[in-house]
Amino acid sequence: MDRLFLGVSALIWLPYGLYCFLTPGFLTEAAGVTAVSTTGTIELRAMYGGLQVAIGALAGAALVRASLVRPALLTIAFLGAGLFTARLAAALLGGEFSSYTAMALLLEILCVAIPAWLLNAAEPAPA
């Protein structure tokens, strides 16, 4: 089950990050996020491109190296928790839940719940 989750994670995060890096203007229509300067475009490429590529690459690396499975699951869970918490708080503060926000929240909560479940299931029973 770990491998399935990590494989799906790699297939979601890596291509989306690459696309956002190569085409940051896509985020204008999809998420209402627009860069108004070169620095803004760099930021979009780093956060929506580089960070998401890194998450997908970590998931992919864990598919080929068993010693990375637990660290990858923990990392994805923590990153998902941070994204979910901040996005939910921001949506509540802003009073708006777009379809993009709703889909992102769903992805992020799954990136918390599934690794937490997998890590818990892998823990040995207490003596």
The per-residue pLDDT for range 76-112, each reduced to its tens digit, is 999 999 999 999 999 999 999 999 999 999 999 999 9
pTM of the model: 0.89
Q: What is the CA radius of gyration of the chain?
A: 16
Secondary structure percentages of the chain, helix, strand, coil, to 5: 85, 0, 15
Q: Is 124 helix (H, G, I), strand (E, B) or coil?
A: coil
Q: How confident is the model at residue 122 (pLDDT cuts 50, 70, 90)?
A: confident
Listed by start position, the domains of the chain span 2-122
Contact predicate 6/72, CB 8 Å: yes
- The per-residue pLDDT of the chain, averaged, comes to 95
**Residue 45 DSSP code:** I
